Amino acid sequence: MKHVLKLISLLVVISALWIGLLQASVIPQSHTWLLPIYFIVSLGCYGLLMVGVGLMRFPTCPQEALLLQKDIAEAKDFLKQKGVDVGSD
């Protein structure tokens, strides 16, 4: 099944639940009508939260740049010895 169909069926189930709630009047109608808006807003907030948290915890590796420079120097030495042209680009 294509992924978009999975998402659509999920949406259909949620919509069915919402319509069920509307019919059953377990919650006051005025609230029930607003549920889709709450849902979308919560989804948006969750997304922003995930972006923010991810940004704060974004893994960085400054030491890797130094290690890389060391590796490059080591490689250049070896290759120079063996006659491979390692002129700068």
Partner 1 sequence: MDAAKNKYSIIVPTYNERLNIALIVYLIFKHLRDVDFEIIVVDDGSPDGTQEVVKKLQTLYGEDRILLRPRPKKLGLGTAYIHGLKHASGNFVVIMDADLSHHPKYLPSFIKKQLETGASIVSGTRYVKGGGVHGWNLIRKLTSRGANVLAQTLLWPGVSDLTGSFRLYQKSVLEDVISSCVSKGYVFQMEMIVRASRKGYHIEEVPITFVDRVFGSSKLGGSEIVEYLKGLVYLLMTT
Site residues, partner 1 (CB under 8 A): 2-4, 7, 47, 50-51, 54-55, 58-62, 64-65, 68, 71-72, 75-76, 78-79, 82-89
Here the tokens at position 34 are 């607003």
Looking at the Cβ atoms of 28 and 87, the one nearer to partner 1 is 87
Smallest separation (angstroms) from partner 1 to the CB of 12: 17
**Burial class of residue 58 (count of CB atoms within 10 Å of its CB; 0-12, 13-18, 19+):** exposed
> Which residue is listed with tokens 């704060």?
56
Smallest separation (angstroms) from partner 1 to the CB of 73: 10
**Residue 78's Cα: distance from chain center in Å?**
42
